[in-house]
Structure formats: structure tokens, C-alpha cells
A and B are shown apart, each in its own frame.
Chain A
Amino acid sequence: MIFAEEQTVNGADVAKDTAHASIEALLEAERAKDLLRFSTAGSVDDGKSTLIGRLLYDSRNVYEDHVRAVTRDAAIDFAQLTDGLRAEREQGITIDVAYRYFSTAKRKFIIADTPGHEQYTRNMATGASTADVAIVLVDARKGILDQTRRHACIASLLGIPIVIAAINKMDLVEFSEEVFERHRQALLELAHRLEIPELIAVPVSALDGDNIVHRSERTPWYSGPSLLELLETVPLAIERSSAGLRFPVQRVVRPHQDFRGFAGQIAAGTVRPGDEVVALPSGRRTRVRSITTWEGELELAHAPQSVVLTLEDEVDVSRGEMIASVTDAPHRTRHFEATVVWMHGTPLQPGMTYMLKHTSQTVRARVVEIRSRIHVDHLEHRPAEQLGLNDIGQLVIETSLPLLADVYRESRATGSFILIDPTDNTTAGAGMIRSIADTEEGATPINRATRGLIAVGNRQELAAELEKSLLQAGALVLRTRVPVSASLVTIARIGAVVLVESDASDPVTLTRVDVANAQPRELAFDHPDEILNELQSLGALPTGDDENDNGLGI
């Protein structure tokens, strides 16, 4: 696919450069590429279609006949290169998720191109659900709008670790460094509030191609990479999950009496023959005998490979059940709290029941309670009676059978589910499990505690006062000098506030344990009461609203 005249770094160039080298070398290079998925979101007219068109064109991933079809009077309409369906061409806007494919010498890319209007929140969530990176477009003349906040919020909720903010139409603000810096600072602040681990801003002009594929000479004050260079180098989210083996069984493979295997796609972790595993929900322990594939038996398999496992013992596992690591098994739960994006015309209300599909299991689910609705434009939680189309809310859900699940932040594949309307069979909602009451069968309260580790350094007095106040407030407290370790995290997860002392004179920090990979956050206050207030606002302490609720779920 050679098209644009300029030199670019991409697959086509490789083809040229190696024209004399062997085709084998070319195939070898092709084989080494990994796959990055990114989603794009922007408000109407921010230039999203133009940006994607430009990205594809300048990286020579567009065919001549496609370019010819959108060229009028010698000018290419880049937006038209990607706007597909009739309805949308008539309205001139992107109304659905469109997937595009391109590759460079380094990577293959899948773009989930999503619309930006509020009424398409569900489409944005769809595109974001599989993305490693989100590109959020910002019009340099307008800066952060409600829609920008919405896009960033959705990226955060769907667990995308890296957000790239493309500050577009820089040509219309004379490529002003000052304008760019102002937007960049505001975006960094937004990312911080949303707990987005990484936000990178790039000044671009999609229309003219500045900093899209090639670094621009019109932004001499910007020394960072072009958008494409960034996409080629950011780390993949391919194994963000830190969970142990999760192998949801899709089907049992039994071609004859002597072979009984379990087919599935590894959702998290790794597996080797000989590993001790547990079959859930039965709880039977056994060992992996073999990892069978068409190519032969494997010595090691990892997420997201599709394989067949055989087990040492005759253990009964069927579709919807799970084979998991013994040391770090998933939760087995019928009650959990989840963030749900509502996608159905009929509002969701407490008491309603749906079909819930989670990994390879489908169960019935009842909405116990709507905790709040998230106003994504203003990033606030407010009470709500119902969730309408494109609303996002925090729900408490109860299922007819236990799920073998993890918190979404720890494992996307075992922390996500969809809700299906039982009357019209449509996909009515998409959910991400936020917190789990780790329980067996039967009703149990939801643990709403934001539990954590508080590192107090050498502030002995403060530690003593905090310990006392927390105990008085009804919290479980462990005060220790043992350095932070996995077992302390586990204790915190069970529902305790762990106070960790040391000899260091570092500032006091709080590390949440209900959020994966949470970083210690400095507490701004010194006085125990102020720290307690802060904990209270995080929900770590009983609210006193409910006399049965000690804030710890126990």
C-alpha cells in the first residue's frame, strides 16, 4: 500500500527497503509485530475523522481507489476516507463504532472510532472496552468541554491506562505554545481527578498533518513525539492483569473415551503442566496434566491464548465454570457492586431482573439498589431512581448463581459482564465489577469500605492517636512495623485499616487496596481528626446512616 509521496516509517517502506533482501526477512519482521488497540473520541467537528484519515494516509495505509473516491478538485477529504455507512454519510457524522486497521513497521493497530455525542456514550464505552490507549480530541480553540470530560471519564471507567490528548486545529491558534500549555495543564488535572494513570498531550493539526505522523516544524517549542510515534512506542495493556490463572471453560472436548479436555481462552495468568489448580465452583483441587493444541502440547500458556487443558484427576468441570490457580483464586460471589453503562431504551430500575453474561457463564441478575448515577460531564455521583439510555451508575447486583469473578481493575476479563434484556434479547448494559463481598451462597452485605494502608513513617504519636480514633469509630485496625507486604495488603482487603510505622520521616500516605496498583497518595493533613475526615469521605469508615453497617461489610 504505497501512496503518499513523502518518506514515512511504515510497512510500505519496509517493502521497498528490503526489495533486494529476502522475502523471508520481510515475513520475519511482519511476524515480530505486536498489536495495539486504541479508541478515539471527540465532539462533533473536533476533527476526529480527519485525524484518522490523516493518520492512515500519511502512514500510507490507504488504497488509491479509496483516495480517488473522496478526492474533489484535487483536495482529499480526509474525513470521508473513514466515514462509512450511508446514514452517517447523509448526516455527516459518525454514529456507530467503526473499526479500522493499519500497520507500520513496528506495530499493527486496530482503531475503534467512536462518536462523541452524549447519546452515544454506549458506543464510546464499546470502543473503549478493548482499548490499550484512548485518544481524546480537543479543539485548540475551545479547550476542555463537557464532552472531553465525558470521554476521559469513560476511558477511566473502562480501565484504559493511557490517554493521549490530541490538541487539534493548532493551525487555527497560530500554533501557540501558550494555548497548548494551558490545555495540557487542565487535562493533567482532569486525569489526576479521574485516576487515569497516564495522560500525554500532543499539539496537532489533523487537516495539515502536523505532528500526526511527522514531527512538525511549526511547533518548534514541542520536542515530544508525533502521535504515530507515540502509538508505536506506548506499552501494551496486554497483560495488565496481575491475577493468577483464570481459565473460564467454554466447552468440554471429548472426542473419545480416553480424552477429556477443557477448551477456553486464558483470561489471566499463566499455566504449565503440573501446576496445581482448583476447579470452581466445586473447589476440587488437581493438577494440570497437559496443555493441548493443534500444534501439539505446550510447556507454557498464558493470557490470552486459546488452549485445551487436561487435568490429572477426573474432575467434573463444565461450561461456565472455571479452572484457577490455587494460591490466588477468584472471588465466588452472588453480590457485588458494579459500574454499569446503560444501553437500553427502557430505564433500569431497582428490582428489575436481567440475564447476566460473565466469562462463559450466563445467570439471572437482579438490581438490588442504584447507589448513584455518575454525571460524567461534571464527574459527580448523585442519587438516582433509575438509569436511562447512556447513563452510567453504581449498582448493587445479586445473581441467581455465584460468579467466579474479580474486581475489574484487577482483571478486565473476569471483572466485566453484560446485561441482556430477557424480553427483547438486546444487550441492555455493560458492567464493571467494582467491589465484591467475598462470600459463599446466601445474602451478605456489600462491603463498601475503602480499605487501605496508611504509612505514617516515624510519626509514633500520630500513629497512636489514629489507632485510637479508628477503633473508637468502629473500624478494625492493625498497627505494625512490618514493612508493607502482600500479607498486609491481604489484611487490609479483609477489611482492616493497616497503620504501618517505620523509621523514615516521609509524609503520611494512604494506599487504597480496593483499586489495583493504587499508588500511595500523600495525605494533606497532619492532625488525626483531619485524616479521619478524609478517610470518612472515601467511605472507609462507617457513615452512621445504617446501623447495621459498620463500613467493613462484616
Chain B
Amino acid sequence: MTAQNRLNHIQLLEAESIHILREVASEFQKPVMLYSIGKDSSVMLRLAQKAFHPGPIPFPLLHVDTGYKFHEMLEFRDRLTSELGVKLIVWRNEEALAQGANPVKLGTQRCCGLLKTQALLDGLRAHGFDAAFGGARRDEEKSRAKERIYSFRDSAGQWDPKNQRPELWNLFNSRIGPGESIRVFPLSNWTELDIWHYIHLENIPIVPLYLAKERRMLVRGDSLIPVEQSFVQGLPGEEQWVKCRLRSLGCSPCTGAIRSDADTVPKIIEELMGMRNSERANRVIDHDQDGSMELKKREGYF
């Protein structure tokens, strides 16, 4: 093999992810792609377009809407899915929302439990999906470093870190029992930098919240908290204009922004290469307790 027909790391990751997408679409009865509107989902969606080209994507997208997503995210979602002509299912825990569930009232952890985890499990069950693609990457968080690409879930949707199937080569075991399902992570081996690089190379549309601009923010210590929901109240003087951007997209009350001048994708990549903190350090939700991600995963969260 000569150097000229050797794949670079991005091409290799792409080929691997496409293989996984096709394998799941072929071996499961009813797959679905969890679409969170974020950068990872955007890459995953592009890979799905490529995997089945020139045919259509053979499964729908499912967005779990907590009710507290940024309005820019929802606009982006609706525009993109209609442009691409993919089927979109939106699922919300209406009951909890009607009772006024929000992170300030319930605390971050309980709120996530109801609006994210519960809604996700209900949505998957209601439609009878047996395989759900997620955009999680192993480099995001320590407990994800051991996650399989095919992550097996029992009939309650739960994950047992001690009881995972070994995964060798690119041979995936897709056999499950009645009521059981799997989560599939085609981006497992991508890093945050790979994702941005790919977005740049492929010119993949992203929510503008990722790009720096002057925004109204509550400035509290090191945190920049977006002003979107009325229950997020600032103290006098906290609300300011700040040039900032979001490093990962979540719910507006629980997603911290970072100060940044990166208003293009190449500038984001440049910024990332000099970053001193991990992606999730900016996510308010992970500060609850050590190992909180693993707890959430055990309960059924991604």
C-alpha cells in the first residue's frame, strides 16, 4: 500500500462510522437516530446521508425536547430536517412540563431525570425502537471511555457497566431478546477536534450558538449563563453583553457559555487546540457529584 492511497485519520473514522450505520440499519427491525441538534448530531446526520447514498436515510430522527432548549436550536432543527426531507419525531415529557418541572425548582439532576432520561425512555418505548443511534464520543468523559459501540440495554433501558458484550474487530453482535434494545454510538472514536475538523471539511451546517458573538449573559463568577428562561433570574449587575459562544448545546438554563472570539469554524478549531479545560467543564450539569455521568448512564441517559 502506497502512501497516496492511505486514508488519513478523518477518512478512516468516516469509513468506520458508515460501516456501523449500515450494519445497524440492516440488522435491526426498527432503528432511530437520536438527534440532539448539536455538533455531534450534525456530523452523525451527515454520515447517515453518506452511508445510504444515493438512497434515503432508512430511519427517522428522534429529538427529545426538554422544553428548555434554545429557540435557535429548534429553528435550526425544523429548517434542516425539512430541507433534507428526513422524518423527525419530537418527544417531550408533557406531564412533567405541565407540572412546572424546571432545573431551578427541582435541581439539575431530578430535572434531567424527568425531562431527558424519562422522556427518552418513554419515546423509545412508545415507538418500539430497538436500536437508537446516539452521538456520544468516548473522549467526552471518563465513564464513556469504556462504552461499547453497541451498548446493550435491558428491558428497562438500563446500562450495566460490568455486563457489556466484548467487541472485537468490526464484528458487532446485534442479537437481542424481546423488549431489549441497544444504543449505538457511531462516533465513539471521534474526538471533539475531529468533529470540528469534519464540520469544516464537509461544510456541515451548525446552530449559530456555537459561533462567538455579543450575547446577553448572566455573569456569575467564571460562569456565563444564557438569559432565555424567565425562571433564570440574575442578581443586579449580572446581566451583561459578552462576546461568547457555546461549546456544547444543552438546555439553556444549564449550559454555560465560554468567552470567545471564535466566530468561524476554523477559529473554533484554533481555539480548541489551545484549550485548557474539557468540553464538559462548561456544562453545569456535570458538577453535581463525581461520577455523575456514570450514574445517569446507569439510569438510562446516554
Contact = CB atoms under 8 A, between A and B. Distances in A.
A294 B49 CA distance: 8
A521 B245 CA distance: 63
B175 interface: yes
Interface string A5-36: 00000011011100000011011001111110
Contact of A32 (B8, B189, B191): B8
A108 interface: yes
A357 B161 CA distance: 24
Interface stretch (A80-88, A135-143, A199-207): A80-88
Contacts of B175: 355, 420, 425
A24 B290 CA distance: 39
5 contacts: A30-B269, A86-B291, A253-B53, A253-B54, A425-B177
Contact of B138 (A101, A122, A129, A264): A101
B25 interface: yes
B273 A426 contact: no
Contacts of A305: 7, 11, 15
B85 interface: no
B162 interface: yes
A84 B145 contact: yes
A494 B165 CA distance: 39
A360 B169 contact: no
B110 interface: no
Contact of B273 (A12, A69, A264): A12
Nearest to A417: B171
Given A15-B273, A85-B161, A33 B19 contact: no
B127 interface: no
A3 B6 contact: no
A35 B278 contact: no
Given A2-B274, A34-B8, A126 B18 contact: no
Contact of B18 (A27, A87, A306): A306
Given A265-B170, A305-B7, 7 more contacts: A69-B290, A96-B146, A122-B166, A412-B169, A416-B169, A418-B171, A427-B167
B19 A12 contact: no
A239 interface: yes
Contacts of A44: none
B150 to A, nearest CB: 10
B281 A65 contact: yes
A294 B14 CA distance: 12
Interface stretch (A254-262, A280-288, A380-388): A254-262
When A and B form their complex, which 4 residue pairs have the shortest distance between CB atoms, in order from nearest? A239-B1, A15-B273, A306-B18, A35-B9
Interface of A: 1-3, 11-12, 14-16, 23-24, 26-27, 30-35, 63-66, 69, 82-87, 89, 95-101, 103, 107-108, 110, 122-123, 125-126, 129-130, 236, 238-239, 250-251, 253-255, 259, 261, 263-265, 270, 292-294, 300, 302, 304-306, 308, 319, 343, 355, 357-358, 360, 412-413, 416-418, 420, 425-427, 430
Nearest to A358: B171
A126 B166 contact: yes
B165 A250 contact: no
A66 B269 CA distance: 21
Contacts of A27: 197, 200, 266, 269
B281 A84 contact: no
Contacts, number: 207
Nearest to A250: B22
A3 B273 CA distance: 11
A253 B278 contact: no
B166 A34 contact: no
A12 B274 contact: yes
A63 B277 contact: yes
A306 B53 contact: no
Contact of A292 (B9, B53, B177, B267): B53
Given A2-B274, A27-B266, A101-B138, A251 B22 contact: yes
A52 B22 CA distance: 34
A369 B129 CA distance: 40
Contact of A357 (B55, B173, B188, B273): B173
A306 B176 contact: no
Contact of B168 (A16, A26, A129, A251): A129
Given A86-B291, A126-B168, A306-B51, A96 B161 contact: yes
A16 B277 CA distance: 17
Interface residues of B, number: 69
B270 A84 contact: no
Contacts of A319: 26
A105 to B, nearest CB: 11
B90 to A, nearest CB: 27
Which of B49, B166, B173, B189 gathers the greatest number of chain A CB atoms within 10 Å?
B166
B55 A253 contact: yes
A28 to B, nearest CB: 11
Contacts of A1: 273-276
A360 B25 CA distance: 12
Contacts of B168: 125-126, 129-130, 416, 418, 427, 430
Contacts of B200: 27
A261 B291 CA distance: 46
Given A239-B1, A420-B173, A427-B173, A85 B143 contact: yes
Contacts of B266: 23-24, 27
Nearest to B148: A97
Which of B6, B22, B201 gathers the greatest number of chain A CB atoms within 10 Å?
B22
Contacts of B197: 27, 30-31
Nearest to A3: B276
Contacts of A33: 8-9
B52 interface: yes
A418 B173 contact: yes
Contact of B54 (A259, A302, A417): A259
B146 A253 contact: no
B58 to A, nearest CB: 9
A393 to B, nearest CB: 16
A40 B115 CA distance: 40
A259 B3 CA distance: 33
B288 interface: no
Interface in B37-95: 49-56
A363 to B, nearest CB: 13
A68 B197 CA distance: 28
A412 to B, nearest CB: 7
Interface in B152-175: 161-162, 164-171, 173, 175
B277 to A, nearest CB: 5
B214 interface: no
A306 B273 contact: no
B12 interface: yes
B122 interface: no
